[in-house]
Structure 1
Amino acid sequence: MHFDWAFFWQSLFHPSGAFLSGLGMTVAISVVSMVLGLVLGLIVALMRLSRNRALRIIASVYVWILQGIPLLVVLVVIYLGLAAANIYKFQDTSVMGVVLAGSVKAAVVGLTLNCGAYVSEIIRSAISAVPEGQTEASMALGMTGFSSMRWIILPQAVRTMIPPLGNQFNTLMKNTSLLSIIGVSEMFLVTQSISSATFKTFEIFLVTGVYYLLLTTVWTILQNEIECHLSRQLGIPVKSMLSKAQV
């Protein structure tokens, strides 16, 4: 058995259409799930910080369940379990002439629920880290609880949220490889298909590893630039990764 360098370089620099399609699916699902997870996480975080005991209990149970059950199990239950129990079946739908597979919708739901649980804890911790005096001062100025949260608390908490949220997105992108279990044609499942067709298992999976590394590296650079931008707005002197690289 030998390593086929020609196949490796060809697949790395000139990937097939199917591989690029899988790459696009990975990115698209990651971005959509992260955006929805941010919205869900913010809602759950505010519920956990609410004075309403029922809301706090509901949010706590949600976080407890989703953080305690492996994502792979969540995906299987959502896509296969609900259909087997005749509760709900994700059907293929057509959106503007583009067929959206039921497995893709189930994947987004599963990733969003999983992501929302972790994001909610990140947001809750960041909000809790803001001194209570900020809330008291805003109330003294006649601001409502919502206005205080919107204009005073959240802007201060965002700077603290960015690093862990960025790490969460990186984790989410890598977790898309689990979607192959429910038949989503993302990058990992396409890689398996190419491996089965060419018998170049090590070569093609190494290529896939490089592409996952590139995705996470690009996001890490973007995340650093976002952190630097927010720090500059707060008057904190920083140097971005791009600036350091130019020195």
Structure 2
Amino acid sequence: MNAPVEAGSPAPAGPDGPAGELTNRISHPLRPGRWLAAGVTALILAWLTWSVAVNPNLHWDIVVEYQFDRVILQGLWVTIQLTVASMVIGVVLGVVVALMQVSDSRVLRTGAVAYVWFFRGTPLLVQLIFWFNIALIFPEIGLGVPFGGPKLVTWETNALVTGFVAALLGLSINEGAYMSEIVRAGLRSVDPGQQEAAASLGMSRAKIMRRVVLPQAMRIIVPPTGNQFISMLKTTSLVSVIAGADLLTVAQRLYLTNFEVIALLIVASIWYLVLTTVASVGQYFLERRFSRGFGTTVPGNLRGRVARNLRFSGSAR
């Protein structure tokens, strides 16, 4: 039982007493600097928003007019096709090259290292221009006996390697070099003891890789792969230098005819933001799916993930 409180004794400190006030001050300290910075930031954002909204030189009526224009939507569809196809080919190449890197064969390891070294070491823009002008080196592409033997079938390179094909080759082969490092890191993250235990049970090397290693490596592979996909959405804009008919290319063609440069660039930027946001949401839920059962959670929340992916990608390619 609690001891009775004597008459005239001070009341015990509670949540509303001196101790409670001290606790509140400690847990919620005053931060005037933070409030000042937040106020200045809000003021700057409001000023920028107002300046952009009322600026007559931005021609918002042109932006609205061309946002769902047929030509813009065709370029948007090409961008989506390039992104998806390049990532699929890049992931396949990355898995193959990563398996070559962890192979016991020195020849396979050397070939994989040379591939990664070359395509990661040269700029993507240079690779795109190279593929677009491949006909200067090989005017014809054919199938036949190698080392100077007769050719059975030949095609003209200019007819075969169009702007879209050159863009697909450049983006996918370059992406394969980056994906191989991501996949290799995921494979190395799996405890080698599990592979030894599976081998002791009589499982083949291919079965161990398919049933033991890859399922566990996916939680390491998926997050950076999602980031690569989002980066690829924005990297496709480089295709404009080889007339790849992507979103930025068609926007440039339009503003060369009507001289609405800024308005058409805003139209393209809005669509890039929409694609990046949708991809960020998909990445968030995909990471949650592959993080189950490992005692880990997806870092950050959905809003933070979207905001981070909307930032400019500074990775040099």
TM-score range, shorter chain: 0.7 to 0.9
Does residue 1:58 correspond to 2:125, yes or no?
no
Q: For residue 136 of structure 2, what is the aligned residue in structure 1?
A: 84
Q: For residue 77 of structure 2, what is the aligned residue in structure 1?
A: 24
Q: For residue 97 of structure 1, what is the aligned residue in structure 2?
A: none
What is the CA distance between 1:84 and its match in structure 2?
A: 0.6
2:244 is paired with a residue whose SS is coil
Q: How does 1:69-108 map to 2 (within 5 A)?
A: 69-80=122-133, 82-86=134-138, 88=141, 90-92=157-159, 102-108=162-168
Q: For residue 113 of structure 1, what is the aligned residue in structure 2?
A: 173
Aligned 8 A contact 1:90 1:105 in 2: no
Q: For residue 58 of structure 2, what is the aligned residue in structure 1?
A: 3
What is the CA distance between 1:178 and its match in structure 2?
A: 1.1
What is the CA distance between 1:234 and its match in structure 2?
A: 4.8
Alignment partners' CA distance in 2, 1:237 and 1:166: 16
The gaps in structure 2 that reach 5 residues or longer are: 1-55, 142-155, 304-317
Q: For residue 130 of structure 1, what is the aligned residue in structure 2?
A: 190
Does residue 1:159 correspond to 2:193, yes or no?
no
Alignment partners' CA distance in 1, 2:229 and 2:157: 25
Q: Which amino acid aligns with 1:171?
A: S
Aligned 8 A contact 2:79 2:246 in 1: yes
Q: For residue 192 of structure 1, what is the aligned residue in structure 2?
A: 252
Q: For residue 182 of structure 1, what is the aligned residue in structure 2?
A: 242
The gaps in structure 1 that reach 5 residues or longer are: 94-100, 243-247
Q: For residue 216 of structure 1, what is the aligned residue in structure 2?
A: 276
1:130 is paired with a residue whose SS is coil
Alignment partners' CA distance in 2, 1:125 and 1:119: 10
Aligned 8 A contact 1:90 1:103 in 2: no
Alignment partners' CA distance in 2, 1:131 and 1:147: 16
What is the CA distance between 1:28 and its match in structure 2?
A: 0.5
What is the CA distance between 1:235 and its match in structure 2?
A: 6.4
Alignment partners' CA distance in 1, 2:94 and 2:210: 16
Alignment partners' CA distance in 2, 1:225 and 1:163: 11
Aligned 8 A contact 2:86 2:172 in 1: yes
Aligned 8 A contact 1:90 1:106 in 2: no
What is the CA distance between 1:232 and its match in structure 2?
A: 2.9
Identity of aligned residues (%): 38
Q: Which amino acid aligns with 2:93?
A: L
Which deviates further from its counterpart, 64-73 or 226-235? Answer: 226-235
Aligned 8 A contact 1:34 1:112 in 2: yes
RMSD: 2.1
Q: Which has the larger radius of gyration?
A: 2
Q: For residue 241 of structure 1, what is the aligned residue in structure 2?
A: 302
What is the CA distance between 1:92 and its match in structure 2?
A: 4.2
Task: Name the count of aligned residue pairs.
Answer: 233
Q: Which amino acid aligns with 1:160?
A: I
Alignment partners' CA distance in 2, 1:187 and 1:168: 19
Alignment partners' CA distance in 2, 1:90 and 1:172: 26
Aligned 8 A contact 1:22 1:187 in 2: yes
Question: Which has a greater percent of helix?
Answer: 1
What is the CA distance between 1:240 and its match in structure 2?
A: 7.0
Q: Which amino acid aligns with 2:167?
A: A
What is the CA distance between 1:195 and its match in structure 2?
A: 1.0
Q: Which amino acid aligns with 1:155?
A: P
Aligned 8 A contact 1:79 1:90 in 2: no
Alignment partners' CA distance in 1, 2:129 and 2:297: 47
**Structure 1 length-normalised TM:** 0.88
Alignment partners' CA distance in 2, 1:234 and 1:128: 17
Alignment partners' CA distance in 2, 1:161 and 1:90: 36
Aligned 8 A contact 1:34 1:169 in 2: yes
Q: For residue 96 of structure 1, what is the aligned residue in structure 2?
A: none
What is the CA distance between 1:231 and its match in structure 2?
A: 2.1
What is the CA distance between 1:10 and its match in structure 2?
A: 2.5
